[in-house]
Structure 1
Amino acid sequence: MLTSIVELERAANVLKLLGDKTRLTIVAILKQRECCVCEFQEVFEMSQPSISQHLRKLKDAGMVKEERRGQWIYYSLNQKSELYELVDTILEHVPDQTEKIKMIEKSNPTLRCGC
């Protein structure tokens, strides 16, 4: 059960952003593990700029945070956000992303891109 109440407009924005299958999948993966853009490229058949655009929207909304390590940026869910409980509740109703995470780990794209 949600213990914090999110402003209606912010809640609507979260629902709108997560209404996109790619962004919903990204957030579901990030619930289980942090990732860099090149790792998401293994899961989605789209360009690095397209994935970065999705991540930027999630970050701008406060759902995702980034951590720079050298020249690479790793993304994770922002558990300190007031939106986290709402996002977490939504993710309870989304399939587990273990298979996609196994795809990432099997191909190990970080070796190729240098993350």
Structure 2
Amino acid sequence: MLQTTIEMDKAAMILKLLGDKTRLTMVKILDNHDCCVCEFVEIFKTSQPSISQHLRKLRDVGLVREERRGQWIFYSINKTSDYYAFMQQILQQLPDQDHKLKELEENGTRITCC
């Protein structure tokens, strides 16, 4: 397997972004599932502007991408990012977060925007 390295300042930037528990959890969820802002609002019990700010930071460095579906925007991991391999090594060490989406489904609040 080809191992790519990234510059120290880029690695520090990624680690700083992922050092926030909310963003780290978002990225772990997005690694397996596309989500919209409203789902993250439900998961984290926080405001839509706060969630959008977290997603903007991740999007601005290319860790996540957005896709418009009708009037809604869904987010996913940007697997073509130069930092994806580095981020994957981190995400593989973390516990699965699928239970958070299952809770939304059980509460009837998964993808409430669609």
Asked if these proteins are the same fold (TM beyond 0.5), I'd say yes
Q: By percentage of residues, which structure has more helix?
A: 1
**Partner of 2:85: helix, strand, or coil?**
helix
Q: Unpaired segments of 5 or more residues in structure 2?
A: none
Normalised by the length of structure 1, the TM-score is 0.91
Deviation at 1:105, TM superposition (A): 2.4
What is the alpha-carbon distance in structure 2 between the residues aligned to residue 12 and residue 89 of structure 1?
15
Normalised by the length of structure 2, the TM-score is 0.92
Residue 111 of structure 2 aligns with an amino acid whose one-letter code is T
Give the alignment's Cα RMSD to 1 decimal.
1.4
How many residue pairs get matched? Answer: 113
Deviation at 1:6, TM superposition (A): 1.1
1:110 aligns with 2:78: no
What is the alpha-carbon distance in structure 1 between the residues aligned to residue 81 and residue 30 of structure 2?
14
Deviation at 1:2, TM superposition (A): 7.0
What is the alpha-carbon distance in structure 2 between the residues aligned to residue 104 and residue 57 of structure 1?
24
Percentage of pairs with the same residue:
58
1:35-114 superposed matches below 5 A: 35-106=35-106, 107-111=108-112, 113=113
**Partner of 1:76: helix, strand, or coil?**
strand
Deviation at 1:110, TM superposition (A): 2.6
Q: Unpaired segments of 5 or more residues in structure 1?
A: none
Would the aligned equivalents of 2:23 and 2:54 in 1 still touch at CA under 8 Å? yes
Residue number in structure 2 paired with 1:5: 5
**Partner of 1:3: helix, strand, or coil?**
coil
Residue number in structure 2 paired with 1:21: 21
